[in-house]
């Protein structure tokens, strides 16, 4: 397993969605490198958020080096990849439960030169992603039920993180392991110790007074893959 850099990804919906550009700029000013963008269709999850138009507006208003990571909680993501490429997402993650075209969708994202991620709901066994690990840039382990911010971290999910970390080691792979939901200093550190290299943090991050100090603290965590 290669040494990787830990990234904190502020999640847009944890801040003020009505001022999405301002919320994104706060993540930039805090010194983070990636913004997590939750896209929901009201069917795959019982909620709605933003789509390519708003993401495009964010892209125009943040520096080029700042990456946009779309977490698609939508059915048939393969039909929409092009839209998320065009609006400026550097990273696109979709759910394994949302399509029968998993291999095709990964290949499509990679063909567009984007970072490809596969996400799992809490009830989905981690074994289902193993056949795709070689081709993935990232696996997203949901540590809450997808659909809403502000929920409590499901610590049983750390076992999935550990299983993925052991595969990385065994096969010398370097995909990122991302955790999403209920992340704060305590659950973030637990995740990093288990092998996570990406921490998505919504409500906890945007609630803090000093966002730069918050990002610095998360980035100082040390763990298995770092
Ligand atoms: C939930 C989303 C998360 C959400 C996390 O479906 O995938 O990205 O923003 O929010 P917090 O950090 O508040 O749990
Ligand atoms: Zn998310």
Separation of first and last alpha carbons in the chain: 10
Quick check: 207 pLDDT over 80? yes
Q: What is the DSSP string of 209-225?
A: S-HHHHHHHHHT---TT
Quick check: 1 pLDDT over 70? no
What is the rounded distance in angstroms from the CA atom of residue 118 to the CA atom of residue 54? 23
Say if pTM beats, i.e. exceeds, 0.95. Answer: yes
Cα of 209 vs centre of ligand 2, distance in Å, is 22
Cα of 37 vs centre of ligand 1, distance in Å, is 9
Is there an atom of ligand 1 within 6 Å of 11 CB? Answer: yes
What is the rounded distance in angstroms from the CA atom of residue 115 to the CA atom of residue 90? 6
Write out pLDDT tens, residues 151-190: 999 999 999 999 999 999 999 999 999 999 999 999 999 9
Q: Which residues are catalytic?
A: 38, 180
Q: What angle do CA 65, 70, 72 make, to 5 degrees?
A: 170
Name the closest ligand to CA 150.
1
Q: At what angle do helices 211-219 and 20-29 cross, to 10 degrees?
A: 60
Ligand 1, residue 181: give the atom nearest the CA.
Answer: 14
Radius of gyration over alpha carbons of the chain, in Å? 16
Cα of 176 vs centre of ligand 2, distance in Å, is 15
Write out pLDDT tens, residues 107-156: 999 999 999 999 999 999 999 999 999 999 999 999 999 999 999 999 99
Return the percentage of the chain with pLDDT > 90, whole number.
96
Is there an atom of ligand 1 within 6 Å of 76 CB? Answer: no
- Atom 10 (ligand 1): residue with closest C-alpha? 149
């Amino acid at each position: 397993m290669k040494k990787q850099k830990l990234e904190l990804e502020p999640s847009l919906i944890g801040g003020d969605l009505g001022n999405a550009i301002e919320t994104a700029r706060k993540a930039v000013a805090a010194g983070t490198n990636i913004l997590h963008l939750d896209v929901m269709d009201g069917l795959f999850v019982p909620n709605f958020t933003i789509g390519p138009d708003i993401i495009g507006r964010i892209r125009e208003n943040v520096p080029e080096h700042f990456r946009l990571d779309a977490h698609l909680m939508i059915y048939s993501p393969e039909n929409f990849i092009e839209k998320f490429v065009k609006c400026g997402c550097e990273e696109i993650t979709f759910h394994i439960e949302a399509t029968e075209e998993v291999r095709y969708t990964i290949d499509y994202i990679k063909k567009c030169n984007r970072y490809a991620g596969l996400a799992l709901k809490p009830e989905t066994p981690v074994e289902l992603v193993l056949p795709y690990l070689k081709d993935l840039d990232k696996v997203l382990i949901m540590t809450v039920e997808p659909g809403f911010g502000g929920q409590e971290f499901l610590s049983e999910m750390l076992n999935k993180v550990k299983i993925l970390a052991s595969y990385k080691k065994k096969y010398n792979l370097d995909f990122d392991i991302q955790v999403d939901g209920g992340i704060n200093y305590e659950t973030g550190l637990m995740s990093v110790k288990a092998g996570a290299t990406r921490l998505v943090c919504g409500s906890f991050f945007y609630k803090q007074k000093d966002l730069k100090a918050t990002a610095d603290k998360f980035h100082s965590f040390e763990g298995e893959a770092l």
